[in-house]
Amino acid sequence: MNKTLNTIFRIGYHGPYILMITAILMILYETRKHFPSVVGPSVVGPSVAGPSVVASLLFISAVGNKILFVIAWNFMNYWLNGVLKRLIKQPRPKKMIKINHQDVVSSRGYGMPSGHAQIAVNNLVFLALLFRNDTVTALGALQTLLTIYQRYAFRMHSAAQLLAGTALGTASGYGLYKAYRHTFATTDHKTTKNTIRK
């Protein structure tokens, strides 16, 4: 296979991870403006810097919780996908092309629904709904399509398996968006309020 094509397909294979990392980077990017300054505007001594350091540590902890929430949701998706595969027990297509060692291991298991499609679409929907950034959404959609195409072209999944994974990922991504907004709405409101007061 052509080296360039091989690289493109490898990027497609890693789509779920790339999209999850993109979501984490967007969380960091969006919260940067609320980061409290470590040193206050009128520093007289170390006692003034103390509360600012505490505020910074609390902020880092809050952002860390957001990131852990997204990672945990992705792991839950991975687990759910494994459970569904064992319940449905639909084999993968024949004559699979394994792109790496992980595919060799996966090829021995079931294929319905596609885990790659499920997790990639989950992260895409979350990115699109939460950040509403056209560039990020377009790039995420391209990455997701590349992932789905790679799984189909290499016969690791049938069209039905990919469609089922996409449907589950869409529902899961919407659930992640709603759960994330519900969990962190109060924190975000307080952070914005404190930033405005300063």
**Per the structure, how many domains does the chain have?**
1
Between 46-88 and 15-31, two packed helices, what is the crossing angle to 10 degrees?
Answer: 150
Domain membership flag for residue 64: yes
Tell me the pLDDT tens digit for each residue of 40-77. Answer: 444 444 545 556 777 777 777 788 899 999 999 999 99
Q: Residue 133 and residue 30: Cα distance in Å, rounded?
A: 11
pTM of whole model > 0.85?
no
Q: Name the residue range of residue 124's domain.
A: 7-29+49-197
| Structure letter (DSSP) for residue 157 | S
Domain membership flag for residue 155: yes
Using left for φ > 0, alpha for ψ between -120 and 50, and beta otherwise, residue 182 falls in: alpha
The alpha-helical segments, DSSP class H, found in 32-114 are 46-88, 101-106
